[in-house]
Structure 1
Amino acid sequence: MCRWIAYRGSPVTLDELLYKPANSLVMQSLHSRLGAEPTNGDGFGVGWYDEHSPTPGVFRSIEPAWSDRNLRELAQHVRSGTVLAHVRATSGTAVQQTNCHPFRFGSWLFMHNGLIAGFPSLKRDLLLAVDPALFPHIEGSTDSETLFHLALTFGLQDDPPAAIAAAVGLVERTAREHGVPFPVQGTFATTDGRRLWAFRYSSEGRSRSLFRNQDVAVLRAQYPDNPVLHDLSDDTRIVVSEPLGDLRGAWLEVPESSYLVVDDGAEDVHPFAPVRSAA
């Protein structure tokens, strides 16, 4: 479907995340190891926060990430401590900039790997459930952006886990009414620039891959001669669709039906389940 990376830690240039790792996100756009398909060339996007504005910057393009010269140029100069980046393989909606992730609303970013099965049949009902005040902000045609605005409707800005649970629950309830048995497949990430949440869930219990990094201090003790680890702060947290390299013990799988929250360098994993009574 897609591949993504979410980063929270000391400021780094974007190319440290997008290009330099052995299995970088740009490499995954062309040769994904764990994705539903190896190539994710239907556009890309990157969102980042800096000290100049509470609103994140976003750069999105329909070009394949591996061949976009503007992305390579930008990545060498933009520096941030909170980054969301995504390479897209469309599940059926158009290849256009407004359909590229991450999506932005105010100070919030959101991205998704996966799909809502049967979305064309569910789309009308789901869009009608979006808060009318939020509806004008939907620019594209993807299931992912619809899910983001449903989460905003259910209070994402106050309680992201509860809002995502309510949004997913509404999708599953609507899908049952339309005879779609396993509608939700995906991993999701959202941030307000200070905290980061990442979710792994599917209706059939077979979610797309998702990993988090082992504590940098632990890895530094295990690999004292690895120069990359000495360049990372102890509070570095990276969540990825697939590992960025092959260093043994560096990557831990995020459990099925769970979510991860990163706040001030601390990291906690909690169980996740949709609220199926959402209305």
Structure 2
Amino acid sequence: MCRFVIYKGTQPVQLSHLLTRPCHSIINQAFDSRLRLDRRRPINGDGFGVGWYDCTYDEELGHQPCIFTSVTPAWNNVNLVRLTEKIKSPLVFAHVRATTAGSLSLDNCHPWQFGKIMFMHNGGIAEFPRIKRKLQAKLSDELFNFVSGNTDSQWAFALFLSKLPDPNANKFTTEILRQAMLETIADINSMTEAVNATEPSLMNFCVTDGESVVATRYINSRHDEAASLWFSSGTTFSEYAEGGHYKMQKMDKRENIILIASEPLTFEKADWMEIRTNHMVVITPKMNLLQVPIIDKYFVRPSDPEWSGRDTDFAAGKGLLSPRKEVPPKPAEVPSSTVAAA
């Protein structure tokens, strides 16, 4: 199943240090995952996408991000390697795809961009063909015509854009992005409930305007875990041993770098913290990281008598989470490292 990674930093990162050089980058995870095992479809070779914002604003280039996508496997794309060695950015979205909805085409590769906004998704919306017409009816002509692909993810992005006061604006507050995300999830829940969807929807959504980032780890179920999502923060993210072995270092209290990923990019367990199911992660322009519960009918507090721990079987069956009963193997090449348990 698909994977994504987000980088936001006070300094730009060379894309190769995020995407191609680390031995457990999402590109390598696409064919050699250690933590999210998809026995149905172990290869994520149905295209990829990378989106980034310029280091400094240029009036001629505008505010919008640049996006490079391809339907070739990410690990076998020479142009990607060339670009990552020559591009730096303070905010990067990257996504590798395994098709579950929609055909194999450039139009269906994440991330997508509308004006200044960039969006990607890991998961799937239950019974999407049955709610598609209803979702489309909520869109303006502009947003309806914006959708070029046929995935549930891009239609969810269009729905998100419809929740913004002005999707063509050049500036958005963190609160506007956060509220639009909550309304998008609520709308999708309402539509899937109306058709009595037989399984939950997995909605790990990510959106940014180049300054703030909002990401969700969410499932519309009170009993199941959502698709995995992790974050790491520190002052430097660098290679400490040959062979692409990276780690996050924290020299002081500053958060110079924040990474959010479907699966940890390093084998250092202390580098990563798991985002809780049905929570939203918000990164502000000033690099504050907030983890906020999404409180609705599917939110269960650990103090609730109903709480007994969420079941991993549903997300694991989709290749989006490792079942708790399985212990991921240690990488043979780095005996001193510890694999982060999902």
Q: 1:18 to 1:149 in 2, by over 3 A?
A: same
Letter in 2 for 1:85: A
Cα separation, 2, equivalents of 1:261 and 1:229:
20
**What are the ranges of 5 or more consecutive residues in structure 1 without an aligned counterpart?**
none
Q: Kindly, what percent of the aligned residue pairs are identical? A: 34
Is this contact kept in 1: 2:116–2:209, CA < 8 A?
yes
Is this contact kept in 2: 1:118–1:183, CA < 8 A?
no
- Where do 1:137-152 residues align within 5 Å? 137-152=146-161
Is this contact kept in 2: 1:213–1:237, CA < 8 A?
yes
Decide which of 175, 196, 203 is 1:186's aligned counterpart: 203
Listed one character per residue, the Cα deviations across residues 52-71 of structure 1 (whole Å, up to 9, x for unaligned) are 33110000111110111111
- Where do 1:148-167 residues align within 5 Å? 148-155=157-164, 157=172, 159-167=176-184
Letter in 2 for 1:209: S
Is this contact kept in 1: 2:234–2:250, CA < 8 A?
no
Cα separation, 1, equivalents of 2:64 and 2:250:
27
Cα separation, 1, equivalents of 2:295 and 2:94:
25
Q: 1:262 to 1:179 in 2, by over 3 A?
A: same
Which residue of structure 1 lines up, in the alignment, with residue 290 of structure 2?
Answer: 268
Q: CA deviation at 1:118?
A: 1.2
Is this contact kept in 1: 2:3–2:96, CA < 8 A?
yes
Q: CA deviation at 1:234?
A: 4.1
Q: CA deviation at 1:187?
A: 1.2
Higher mean alpha-carbon deviation, 7-16 vs 182-191, is at 182-191
**What are the ranges of 5 or more consecutive residues in structure 2 without an aligned counterpart?**
299-342
Q: Give yes or no for the alignment of 1:171 onto 2:180.
A: no
Letter in 2 for 1:4: F
What root-mean-square deviation, in Å, do the aligned CA atoms of Structure 1 and Structure 2 show?
A: 2.5
Which residue of structure 1 lines up, in the alignment, with residue 26 of structure 2?
Answer: 25
Is this contact kept in 2: 1:214–1:249, CA < 8 A?
no
Is this contact kept in 2: 1:212–1:240, CA < 8 A?
yes
Q: Give yes or no for the alignment of 1:130 onto 2:139.
A: yes
**What is the TM-score when the length of structure 2 is the normalising length?**
0.74
Is this contact kept in 2: 1:110–1:190, CA < 8 A?
yes
Question: 2:101 is paired with a residue of what secondary structure?
Answer: coil
Question: 1:55 is paired with a residue of what secondary structure?
Answer: coil
**What is the TM-score when the length of structure 1 is the normalising length?**
0.89
Is this contact kept in 2: 1:43–1:87, CA < 8 A?
yes
Q: 1:256 to 1:228 in 2, by over 3 A?
A: closer
Decide which of 112, 122, 142 is 1:113's aligned counterpart: 122
Which residue of structure 1 lines up, in the alignment, with residue 48 of structure 2?
Answer: 44
Listed one character per residue, the Cα deviations across residues 125-181 of structure 1 (whole Å, up to 9, x for unaligned) are 111112223111111111011111111111275512221221121112111221214
Is this contact kept in 2: 1:164–1:274, CA < 8 A?
no
Q: 1:162 to 1:229 in 2, by over 3 A?
A: closer
Q: 1:81 to 1:128 in 2, by over 3 A?
A: same
Which residue of structure 2 lines up, in the alignment, with residue 198 of structure 1?
Answer: 215
Is this contact kept in 2: 1:166–1:275, CA < 8 A?
no
Q: CA deviation at 1:32?
A: 2.3
Higher mean alpha-carbon deviation, 52-61 vs 153-162, is at 153-162
| Structure having the higher Rg | 2
